[in-house]
């Protein structure tokens, strides 16, 4: 990719500049990782309004640069900044994207999980993926992983397969980010309208509802698509009266459609990590390699300069001092996970008040056992010849490293101390998902069960976080469902009964 293609800017508007009332074929709520590709795809044949509560990425230049990753995550959250902070009830600091392009614009940019839906992946990959210029540190860790038995060497590979590999990345060789926002460039400019600073408050299921300052409607066989992310879509459904009946009634939200599983099965992959300070300066890098086994995935990043403690990157309060640019973090993730929690509203009327989320990290013993097994593998990795030069002192095994923050337990045979390490150092990989699970809340085509013309297309539908990292699958999903919807409309053209059903099920959406 030679440059960042900003052609989408010609159909991006500030929400206050849009007419007070408009009608579209499709309204997509949330211009994120899945929302951008689905909006672009549907615009091929139909009018589409994409509503994003955040700003355009260029409003925050650090968003568009690889060396801006940490500074974006550490920007003080003023209610508008691209990384919206929240802390789960587990006490783990976290962030979610609040910018056109969603979390794909603030993330670390790693992983491309090519799969059966290869055409949709290809569409995405051609626009935003690059092979990385692998840094020295990343190569060292990959060699170390191979020495430690995470084999085979899968070279540069976009598949999620066991072994060690170099991954694709959103950052090109000039350090520029290419996120989901660029998929909008593939839309039809005549049909696609994107509104930023457009916070959707709720979906109204009746054309007789009280008027709002801005309102948008869908027509005919159109649909509303929620792509506001695991937390945003789940919150919006509850605020709109779709959710567990007794819960909604208890907080005085009129029940439009009872659905017991909304807000249930919220999951987040635990991130555990060690950070070392080698005795010399080395290049900075975002993750470019991955070690994959059935029990855990290992990644690393390094030396990103910062002057304040990076929120949610190093949640440990002891990281309050300024450190130089030499740190190396080796992080590992439990796949799945099996442990889950739930989401509950903090405010029953104000969408701007984030919900309470609990993930119950390691509640399931298998998640903990996998973390223990990964921690042992980190011990093997640190004991390899590849990692030796990074020791502060020439000592055997895992001894001799200068740990920054919690050190790896010295006795790797003591399962209890490894379990304590897992629990005590748990952070987030930011791959939280669930809340509107497929099979429970939405059907296989991601339609909300029992409601016509409403779908949820984002990470809230996932039972497991897919791939080594989820964003490729989310972009693919937006494209895939969009193409399927276009095909459905072609089939439906001749179908009289279908027209009647749609006629009696118009959804109205009232963005502020
Ligand atoms: C810091 C960080 C690092 C990560 N690193 C990686 C990585 O390296 N690789 C990887 O594959 N994945 C990574 N992830 C995870 C991945 O980015 C997310 O899982 C994925 O982007 C989520 O996609 P989504 O479409 O479900 O939601 P999002 O991309 O978050 O999109 C949701 C959008 O909806 C908008 N929205 C929410 N509520 C409303 C509302 N009421 N009205 C209007 N708009 C609304 C939000 O502003 C946002 O733009 C990371 C995530 C984070 C936060």
Is 77 a domain residue? no
Q: How many residues does the chain have?
A: 512
Model confidence pLDDT, tens digit, residues 52-105: 999 999 999 899 998 888 888 888 899 999 999 999 999 999 999 999 999 999
What average pLDDT does the segment 260-264 reach? Answer: 98
Task: Tell how far the Cα of 282 is from the centroid of ligand 1, in angstroms.
Answer: 30
> How many angstroms separate the CA atoms of 112 and 169, rounded?
8
Residue 178 lies in domain: 1-64+92-129+174-267+343-357+431-512
Q: What is the CATH number of the domain that holds 488?
A: 3.50.50.60
Confidence class of residue 141 from pLDDT cuts 50, 70 and 90? very high
Task: Tell how far the Cα of 430 is from the centroid of ligand 1, in angstroms.
Answer: 9
Residue with tokens 């990157």: 313
DSSP 210: P
Is 50 a domain residue? yes
**Are 320 and 418 part of one and the same domain?**
yes
Pick from 21-25, 221-225, 458-462, 500-504: least confident: 500-504
Confidence class of residue 304 from pLDDT cuts 50, 70 and 90? low
**Are 404 and 421 part of one and the same domain?**
yes
Is pLDDT at 497 greater than 70 in this prediction? Answer: no
**Are 227 and 180 part of one and the same domain?**
yes
Mean pLDDT of the chain: 89
Which pLDDT score is estimated for 113? 40
Confidence class of residue 322 from pLDDT cuts 50, 70 and 90? very low
Half-sphere exposure at residue 301, Cβ-oriented, CA atoms within 13 angstroms: 17
228 close to ligand 1 (CB < 6 Angstrom): yes
Higher pLDDT, 346 or 159: 346
Which pLDDT score is estimated for 208? 74
**Are 438 and 494 part of one and the same domain?**
yes
DSSP 350: -
Confidence class of residue 118 from pLDDT cuts 50, 70 and 90? confident
Residues 222/123/301/356 CA torsion (nearest 10 deg): 10
What average pLDDT does the segment 134-154 reach? Answer: 96
Last residue of a domain, one of 387, 408, 425: 425
**Are 330 and 280 part of one and the same domain?**
yes
Strongest mean pLDDT among 205-219, 313-327, 346-360: 346-360
50 close to ligand 1 (CB < 6 Angstrom): no
> How many angstroms separate the CA atoms of 276 and 296, rounded?
20
Which pLDDT score is estimated for 2? 58
Pick from 154-163, 201-210, 481-490: least confident: 201-210
**Are 212 and 299 part of one and the same domain?**
no
Pick from 105-109, 110-114, 405-409, 413-417: least confident: 110-114
Give kind and range of the element (H or E) at residue 371. helix 365-382
**Are 101 and 229 part of one and the same domain?**
yes
> How many angstroms separate the CA atoms of 430 and 127, rounded?
23
Last residue of a domain, one of 425, 443, 470: 425
Model confidence pLDDT, tens digit, residues 189-245: 999 999 999 999 999 887 677 777 788 889 989 999 999 999 999 999 999 999 999
Pick from 164-178, 319-333, 420-434: least confident: 319-333
> How many angstroms separate the CA atoms of 23 and 331, rounded?
47
> How many angstroms separate the CA atoms of 444 and 477, rounded?
12
469 close to ligand 1 (CB < 6 Angstrom): yes
Is pLDDT at 117 greater than 90 in this prediction? Answer: no
Whole-number Cα distances in Å, 146 to 167, 384, 391, 394, 395: 15, 9, 19, 22, 22
Model confidence pLDDT, tens digit, residues 277-295: 888 887 788 899 999 999 9
Sign of the Cα torsion 361, 141, 114, 57 reads positive
**Are 118 and 199 part of one and the same domain?**
yes
For the CA of 109, the closest atom of ligand 1 is: 8
Q: Atom 13 in ligand 1: which residue has the minimum CA distance?
A: 107
Is 11 a domain residue? yes
**Are 416 and 280 part of one and the same domain?**
yes
**Are 239 and 181 part of one and the same domain?**
yes
**Are 304 and 317 part of one and the same domain?**
yes
For the CA of 458, the closest atom of ligand 1 is: 26
**Are 215 and 349 part of one and the same domain?**
yes
Ligand 1 pocket test: which of 110, 232, 238, 300 has the largest number of ligand atoms within 8 Å of its C-beta?
A: 232
Number of domains in the chain: 2
Ligand 1 pocket test: which of 15, 29, 30 has the largest number of ligand atoms within 8 Å of its C-beta?
A: 30
């Amino acid at each position: 990719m030679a440059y960042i293609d900003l052609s989408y800017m010609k159909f991006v508007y500030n929400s206050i500049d849009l007419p007070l009332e408009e009608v579209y074929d499709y309204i997509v709520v949330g211009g994120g990782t899945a929302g951008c590709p689905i909006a672009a795809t549907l615009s091929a044949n139909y009018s589409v309004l994409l509503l994003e509560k955040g700003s355009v990425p260029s409003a925050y230049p650090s968003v568009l640069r690889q060396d801006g990753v940490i500074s974006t995550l550490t920007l003080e959250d003023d209610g508008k900044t691209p990384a919206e902070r929240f802390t789960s009830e587990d006490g783990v600091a976290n962030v979610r994207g609040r910018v056109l392009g969603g979390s794909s614009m603030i993330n670390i940019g790693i992983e491309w999980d090519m799969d059966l839906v290869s055409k949709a992946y290809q569409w995405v990959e051609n626009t935003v993926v690059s092979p990385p210029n692998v840094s020295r540190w990343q190569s060292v860790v990959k060699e170390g992983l191979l020495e430690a038995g995470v084999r085979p060497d899968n070279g540069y590979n976009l598949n999620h397969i066991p072994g060690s590999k170099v991954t694709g990345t959103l950052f090109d060789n000039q350090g520029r980010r290419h996120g989901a926002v660029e998929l909008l460039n593939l839309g039809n400019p005549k049909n696609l309208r994107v509104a930023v600073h457009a916070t959707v408050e709720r979906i109204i299921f009746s054309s007789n509802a009280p008027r709002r300052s801005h309102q948008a409607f869908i027509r005919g066989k159109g649909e509303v698509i929620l792509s506001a992310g695991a937390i945003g879509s789940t919150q919006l459904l509850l605020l709109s009266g779709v959710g567990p009946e007794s819960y909604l009634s208890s907080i005085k939200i009129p029940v439009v459609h009872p659905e017991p599983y909304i807000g249930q099965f919220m999951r987040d992959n635990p991130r555990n990590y060690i950070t070392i300070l080698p005795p010399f300066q080395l290049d900075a890098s975002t993750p470019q390699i991955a070690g994959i086994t059935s029990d855990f995935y290992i990644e690393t990043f390094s030396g990103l300069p910062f002057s304040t403690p990076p929120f949610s990157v190093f949640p440990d309060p002891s990281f309050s001092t300024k450190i130089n640019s030499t740190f190396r973090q080796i992080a590992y993730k439990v796949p799945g996970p099996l442990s889950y929690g739930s989401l509950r509203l903090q405010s029953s009327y104000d969408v701007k008040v984030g919900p309470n989320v609990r993930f119950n990290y390691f509640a399931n013993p298998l998640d903990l056992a996998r973390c223990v097994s990964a921690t042992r593998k980190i011990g093997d990795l640190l004991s390899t010849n590849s990692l030796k030069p990074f020791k502060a002192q020439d000592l055997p095994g895992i001894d001799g490293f200068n740990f920054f923050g919690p050190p790896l337990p010295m006795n790797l045979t003591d399962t209890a101390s490894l379990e304590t390490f897992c629990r005590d150092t748990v952070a987030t990989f930011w791959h939280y998902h669930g809340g509107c699970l497929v099979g429970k809340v939405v059907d296989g085509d991601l339609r909300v069960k029992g409601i016509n013309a409403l779908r949820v297309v984002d990470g809230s539908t996932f039972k497991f976080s897919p791939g080594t990292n989820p964003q490729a699958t989310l972009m693919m999903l937006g494209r895939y469902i969009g193409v399927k919807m276009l095909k459905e409309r072609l089939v439906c053209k001749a179908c009289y009964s279908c027209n009647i059903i749609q006629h009696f099920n118009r959804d109205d959406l009232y963005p502020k």
